[in-house]
A and B are shown apart, each in its own frame.
Chain A
Amino acid sequence: MSQKPKIKELLDESACAHNKTRTQACNAPTPGATTGGCAFEGAQISLFPYADAAHLVHGPMTCLASSWETRATQTDWPGRDLTQMGFTTDISLSDVVFSGEEKLTKAIDYIMTHYSPEAVFVYATCVTAMIGDDLDLICKQAADKHGVPMVPVHAPGFVGSKNLGSRLGGEAVLLNLIGTLEPETTTPFDINLIGEYNVTGDMWQYAHLLDELGIRILSTLSGNGRIADIRCAHRARLNVIVCAKSLISLTRKMQERYGIPQVSLSFYGKRDTSAGLLAIAEALGNLDLIARTKALILREEAKLEEKLKPYRALFAGKKAVLNTGGNKTWSIAAALQDLGIEVVATAVKKATEDDREKARQTLGRDGVLMMNPGVEQAKLIEEKGAHLLLAGGRSLYTAIKKGIAFADVNQEKKKSYGGYEGLLNLAEDLKHALQNPVFTLAARRAPWEK
């Protein structure tokens, strides 16, 4: 039987709050008016962080050439970091005409001979899905031959969005890896971190705290992940979903299949980090653990407060407008508030109903939720007297025109803003933005234009 997941079933996720309100059309992108990545990219994002597995992209050059080494997902895997390597069959016209299956088999053999990974993820792409290369069969044959898991990932770009691709990546892991190995030992406090990719080392901002509490990260999908660990994931006591709605199908199925409960949380900003740690302790249900977690939170928050003191005066009375999407619409807002900055508006155009609700709660009654940030943000900066615009690069012009400081929200792809310590990174970057003369100088008119 084909391993290809049923896309319709995946799109119909009972655990999603907005499931009842969505229409079929949600999934169809509009030609000529579509932004955002494809399913293949989504699958890549969710699986590439396994540094001990090879990630082989079966397709033409665009798919890998523009995507490898793009994400700073960190690992302490002592072997060669295969996440930061690119493998692709780079199929040619003759492969399109005569099938790329033989090439794929040879490519897998080559990888096993030269790199001996713990597993190989084989990614279908639009072209190889169109020509009908049988990834399932090839992976099965290769697994038999080489004795390590070969995981076909059926998320060719044209089946849908990045979000769907992440789900498909999760499906591939569930079908091929989870439950295929038993852990050497188990503890009552074993958890899986789902959807934490350890971008810029985000996970390491809080992993040591979990460790101190005696909570063991049994496996991750997939930050700093190990194939051997995720194969044992079915023995965890709790699935912790970190900022990733896309993997909710996976955790629901793990709940049905293995009885593993789940919590969904974020480690962005002080309040979220504290609430997240406590939520894990409470879900694990041990009173002593809960008490110890509360004590740890008090200690960490006090430590952070101390370190934030030098920034308090600088941020006091400062107002910010935030223009981003997804869970960042509220999570960054909360982090800014933790720093003592008032968030007067946040964009919710690219956010789910759930995110909008959270944004409303975070900003309070007076905060503006922008449905059309491109038009609204400039006006709001003026009306509210904002000092800082946090947005993607496209909005830089707005900040310069209004003569206020600008910070690129995508900076978090280079530097961790996660956990307690990450908030200090954010504070430092915002301090630099507010103090930088560049934004007024860039707006200065030329002598011949005066």
Chain B
Amino acid sequence: MVLFKSLEVFGKYCALVWSSIGVPDKWKEFFKRYINEMYKLGIDSIPLILIVSIFIGSLCTILIKINMSNPLLPRYTVGLSTREIILLEFSSTILCLILSGKIGSNIASEIGTMRVTEQIDALDIMGVNSANYLIMPKMLGMITIMPFLVIICMGTSLFGGYIICVLTGIETPDTFIYGIQSYFIEWYVWFALIKSLFFAFIISSISSFYGYTVTGGSVEVGKASTNAVVMSNIMILVADVILTKLMLQ
């Protein structure tokens, strides 16, 4: 029964994503919304990303230093390990898990409120493809802006590690910088950027689905918002495992 229900929900999700993909009714209106969504979902998230990244970068550096007490390990290992953690997981997966809380709930509650106040019905009655009009700019906006957010996250996190070295002296800044530059594998950056595209699609499409299909009132919109975040997080982790296996092995 649960399996049947899950398949039904998945089918509805696919149908909604499919109906949202298509030629917009009015390109000018689409581009306006597309730019607006990039700003609202992406640029507005930068302060959060900066705060989270700088602290996580600092924490990674401190924790790695504490756990690398073996004198046989070179000192630049702190910088190197911090970089690898940030490039491989934090800047893409953990960042997207955090952003799904902010962006996912925003999308689900916005579209859900439009649904329960009949604004989506109004669009449909006018002859507008409401799924295409509302969801596609969000999905494309997120997919476009997410790699830039990941790059900002990478830079800020490493800067956070550097700052903690300068402020606390747990490692010399020069050694930390040397570690960051050692054994650099460019593919890891591409790997993070490619993963972020999938995660951006997951966050925007799943949150839109939960908002678009809500029925009832404000309580249901709240539930849909929570479900959107939970399901986005689960799917991000599932996709992370699959993509890591496919792209790094």
Asked if A pairs with B, the answer is: no
